[in-house]
Amino acid sequence: MYVIKIFVYYFINFILGIDVDGIHCQDIIAAMCQRYDIHALVQADMMTIEQRTKLDVLDDALFLVCKLIYRDMSGSGHINTEQICFYLKENLLITVKETPTDLFDSIKSKIKAFIKYFILFCFQRSYSTRKRSYKKI
């Protein structure tokens, strides 16, 4: 089974994030790579689980393959390792993991909270600046 999560962050520009859980869903990864013009060698690296950690600096993107080490908190407490791939292009972040995990959900929620706080801060600052300028008139 595989899961695809799509998330969009709006911060100055939008950032589209695609989170694919399941390296073995080759048809989905192939369609995604074709849609976003991802090189065939990067696609092959995404689908191969026995990769060493590496960073590829491409013409218009970065591609990182690394091992994710985490403790299974659902009961056994065993330490698990799995491969995760990050493909970062302008306004696009694609992550491909071996199995569905919610390890990045807390990070995503913190990014959303930061963006909301930043927007509120800018709005409040803009409002107080306008308020001061009206008093001077």
Q: What angle do CA 100, 55, 34 make, to 5 degrees?
A: 65
Q: Which helix (H) or strand (E) holds 37?
A: none
Q: Which residues of 22-41 are buried (b: 16+ CB within 10 A; e: fewer)?
A: bbebeeebeebbeeeebeee
3-state helix, strand, coil in the chain (%, to 5): 35, 35, 25
Residue 83: partners with Cβ closer than 8 Å, 6 or more residues away:
23, 49, 51, 65, 66, 67, 68, 97, 98
Q: What is the DSSP string of 42-54?
A: HHHHHH-SSPPPE
What value does the CA radius of gyration of the chain take, rounded to a whole number of Å?
Answer: 20
Provide the 10 A C-beta neighbour count for residue 5. 15
Taking only the tens of pLDDT, the chain with its 137 residues reads 556 666 665 555 666 778 788 777 788 888 888 988 999 999 988 888 888 899 999 998 999 998 888 887 677 778 888 888 889 888 888 888 887 776 667 776 776 777 667 667 766 766 655 555 555 55
β-bridge pairing 79-89 and 92-97? antiparallel
